[in-house]
Chain A
Amino acid sequence: MRLDQRCIVNMIKKKSTILDIGCGDGTLIDYLCCYHQCDARGIELDMSCVTQAVSKGLSVIQGNADYDLKNYPTAGFDYVVLSRTLQAVNHPREVLQQMLRIGQYAIVSFPNFGHWTLRLQLLFKGHMPMTNVWGTCWYETPNIHPCTLTDFVSLCKKEGYHISQWMAIDDHGEGEKAPWRRSIRLANFFGEQALFLLTK
């Protein structure tokens, strides 16, 4: 499992109910079902990933975070997870609203656009930054709503969401660093990924 997924697991109480939006092949929910006695379900846009997930016996449906969340009952889940998908949805704000309608907690992880390597690339090269995380050209990237860690904190403030936990996570190709939390400003500069646990 990816480091951010392991951090998400640590945020989730055993035997809870989870909806994972953009669940990919279902690695996270599979783990939560098997080792945390959770009732975990997923939505995934890519049909081949859905087929893989369902072929593992997971409750995954093909669907779109922007359109299909409205079909879920209010307070139907303990946690709603959106990992590394927020930057790719059409309406991030509405998706967050839906998440906190459906779940008691929303867990959101996203790549931090404020990371120093991206800032330097833009400053010195004058190009849209390209890194491991932001690996596609601006004209074909699915990440249409990049934001920085502080941008996200501002949005939460504006929407009145309470940040119960947050952390910055670095995961490089090889060797993973532990999650850390110091000041938000430092994290906004040095954190590759951001992970938040929100409540209303």
Chain B
Amino acid sequence: MINSEIKQVMADENQNESIQKMIFSEGLVLESGQKLSHLEIAYQTYGKLSTTKDNAILICHALTGDQYVASVNPLSKKSGWWSRMVGPDLPIDTNKYFIICSNVLGSCMGTTGPRSMRLDQQTMGYWGVDFPTITIGDMVNAQKLLIDHFQINQLFAVIGGSMGGMQALQWAVSYPDRVYAVIPIATSSFHSAQNIAFNEVGRQAIFSDPDWRNGNYWRYGVIPSRGLAVARMMAHITYLSEDALNRKFGRRLQETMMGSSSLILGEMFQVESYLHYQGSNFVRRFDANSYVTITRAMDWFDLSQNYNGDLVKAFSHVQSRFCVISFSSDWLFPTSRSRAIVKALNRVGANVSFVEIVSDKGHDAFLLDEPDLDLVISGFLAGIKRQRQLKNNAS
């Protein structure tokens, strides 16, 4: 019976044949020492790669993002998560640049992760909880295979917000000569105790769902939807600022609650209904094991870990130009974290720009309408492109 359900889920998966994928049969050795014997990377590209292959920009998505940065996600039918930023004549202009966005390792939108079939065993099934522990470094190493496949010697830029920013920073440290410029947005060089704590609450919510079944929910044809929704709801609060929530919802009540006598159960305030909506939407598109795997990878993230806790040493070999961007109301990865990155980069004499954008939209501001962000990104890209040309002409 269980097997037939697996086949059903597999059939669902097969509907996603339209997903663009690259298969690396040589696999990937993880930082933990474990080896993934088979690696698939789902990705999307936009624009045209120049003949000299010098106009490629890698965009790294955040925790629950996907490769559909500027096109409709075929599953959710939602438009690209950064379609206001990436496209023709937009700040990251697809008329000028070749944009690559790949689904991160461990995720569930086509790239190998807990939701992928395990090919190294006789029995058919998903990786599930057996999927190895991965790191942000592993995600970057997987992306590098894809970049190698495109035979791109040097990416013009790596851009990412939040966990995407962690990958961008990791790129600059791991492959200094392969990235001309790095734009880490609303991010940090490490996950703090508070960041880990929030992630842990989310994971515990998932684990406490009866449908979690020790991570083997997929064998039973169920998903820990309540736990996953609670995890998402809580995380979502950390993505917004108090002001943004107040502006959006204030203390407004649900219309259905007006005059109702039962005020303890059910949705009372509009903000509750908003969170419920966010939660229920999320469980339809995201795998619980992937959520656990990726939040763990974020928790492990500390750029200075291999350098005796010294971020300056971690940056000692960087060659890229940096444009560090933070938002004034982001309390998940506050400006002080970006300043710490800038400080360490200054100490090694790296070429760095830094802006804090005044916004009351919290951490999520990087995904939202922030004209100054558009200006900074488009201007920075145009400026460094011009300077690179000048430099090339001079040499």
Q: A47-B355, A57-B387 are in contact. Are A76 and B381 (CB under 8 A)?
A: no
Across the A-B interface, the 4 shortest Cβ-Cβ residue pairs: A57-B383, A55-B379, A61-B354, A71-B346
Interface string of B380-393 (1 = CB under 8 A from A): 11111111001100
Evaluate contact between B376 and A51: CB separation under 8 angstroms.
yes
Which residues 22-63 in A have Cβ within 8 Å of B in the complex?
33-34, 37, 39, 41, 47, 50-51, 53-63
CA distance A72 to B345 in the complex (A): 9
How long is the Cα–Cα vector from A63 to B358 in the complex, in angstroms?
15
Knowing A37-B394, A71-B346, A73-B348, say if A50 contacts B383 (CB, 8 Å). no
Name the CB-closest residue of B to A41. B351
* CB <8 Å contact, B351 and A62: no
Q: How far is the CB of A17 from chain B (nearest CB, A)?
A: 9
The interface size of chain B toward A, counting residues with CB under 8 Å, comes to: 33
Number of A-B contacts (CB under 8 A): 76
Tell me the nearest residue of chain A to B342, going by C-beta. A61
Contact of B346 among A56, A57, A61, A62 (CB under 8 A): A61
- Is the Cβ of A54 less than 8 Å from the Cβ of B380? yes
- Asked whether A62 lies within 8 Å of B387 as measured between CB atoms, the reply is no
Contact flag A60-B346 (CB < 8 Å), given A51-B372, A55-B375:
no
5 residue pairs of the A-B complex, CB under 8 angstroms, read: A47-B355, A51-B355, A54-B380, A59-B352, A63-B354
- Give the most central of B324, B354, B356, B391: most A CB within 10 Å: B354
Select the residue from B324, B357, B383 with max chain A CB neighbours within 10 A. Answer: B383
Q: A57 touches which one: B324, B357, B380, B391 (CB < 8 A)?
A: B380
B380 contacts A61, C-beta separation under 8 Å: no
A128 vs B124: C-alpha distance when bound (angstroms): 86
Report B's interface with A, CB cutoff 8 A: 321, 323-324, 342-343, 346-349, 351-358, 372, 375-376, 378-387, 390-391, 394
Q: Which residues of A contact B346 (CB under 8 A)?
A: 61, 68, 71-73
Partner pick for B380 among A37, A55, A71, A73, CB 8 A cutoff: A55
CB–CB A56/B383 < 8 A: yes
- Which chain A residues border B382 with CB–CB below 8 Å? 57
Q: Are B379 and A56 in contact (CB under 8 A)?
A: yes
Residues of B within 8 Å of A76, CB to CB, are: 349
- For residue B341, give the distance in angstroms from its CB to the closest CB of chain A: 11
Which chain A residue lies CB-closest to B328? A47
Q: Is the interface of A mostly helix, strand, loop or mixed?
A: mixed
Interchain nearest-CB distance for A19 vs B (Å): 10
A33-B387, A34-B390, A51-B372 as given contacts; A59 in contact with B379, CB under 8 Å: no
Let me know if B390 and A59 touch, CB within 8 A. no
Distance from A115 Cβ to chain B, minimum over Cβ atoms (Å): 36
B354 partner, pick from A39, A56, A62, A73, beta carbons under 8 A: A62
Q: A57-B382, A58-B383, A71-B343 are in contact. Are A51 and B348 (CB under 8 A)?
A: no
Chain B CB count within 10 A is highest, among A41, A51, A57, A60, for A57
Report the Cα distance A47→B354, complex, angstroms. 10
B376 CB contacts on chain A under 8 angstroms: 51, 54-55
> Are B386 and A57 within 8 A (Cβ)?
yes
| Residues on A with beta carbons closer than 8 Å to the beta carbon of B349 | 72-73, 76
Q: How far is the CB of A77 from chain B (nearest CB, A)?
A: 8
Q: How far is the CA of A33 from the CA of B355 in the complex (A)?
A: 20
Q: Which residues of A contact B358 (CB under 8 A)?
A: 47
Tell me if B355 and A37 are in contact (CB < 8 A): no
Of all chain B residues, the one with the shortest Cβ separation from A50 is: B355
Residues B390 and A47 in contact, CB atoms below 8 Å apart: no
Least Cβ distance of A42 to chain B in Å? 9
Q: Taking the nearest CB of chain A, how far is it from the CB of B372, in angstroms?
A: 6
Asked if B347 and A73 make an inter-chain contact with CB atoms under 8 angstroms apart, the answer reads: yes
User: A54 and B353: CB pair below 8 A?
Assistant: yes
Given A59-B351, A61-B352, A73-B348, A51–B357 Cβ distance below 8 Å? Answer: yes
For B384, the chain A residues whose CB sits under 8 A away are 57
Q: Which residues of B contact A56 (CB under 8 A)?
A: 379, 383
Distance between Cα atoms of A56 and B384 in the complex (Å): 9
Report chain A residues within 8 Å CB of B372: 51
Q: Is the CB of A54 within 8 A of B379?
A: yes
Residue of B nearest to A75 (CB): B349
Q: Is the CB of A58 within 8 A of B353?
A: yes
**Could you tell me the distance in whole angstroms from the C-beta of A172 to the nearest C-beta in chain B?**
33
Residues in chain A near residue B343, CB distance under 8 A? 68, 71
A50 to B387, CA, bound (A): 18
Residues of B with C-beta under 8 A to A55 = 375-376, 378-380, 383
Question: In the bound complex, what is the Cα–Cα distance between A54 and B349 (angstroms)?
Answer: 18
Question: In the complex, what distance in Å separates the CA atom of A71 from the CA atom of B311?
Answer: 13
Residues in chain A near residue B353, CB distance under 8 A: 53-54, 58-61
- Given A57-B380, A61-B353, 18 new contacts (CB under 8 A): A33-B387, A37-B391, A47-B356, A50-B354, A50-B355, A51-B372, A53-B353, A55-B378, A55-B380, A55-B383, A57-B379, A57-B385, A61-B346, A61-B352, A62-B354, A72-B347, A73-B346, A76-B349
Min CB distance B215 to A, Å, is: 45
Q: Which residue of B lies closest to A33 (CB)?
A: B387
Residues on A with C-beta less than 8 A from B386 are 57
User: A51 to B324, alpha carbons, bound, how many Å?
Assistant: 12
CB distance from A33 to the nearest CB of B (A): 6
Chain B residues, CB < 8 A from A62: 354-356
How far does the alpha carbon of A56 sit from the alpha carbon of B391 in the complex, in Å?
A: 16
B295 to chain A, nearest CB (A): 31
Interface centre among A39, A55, A68 (most CB of B within 10 A): A55
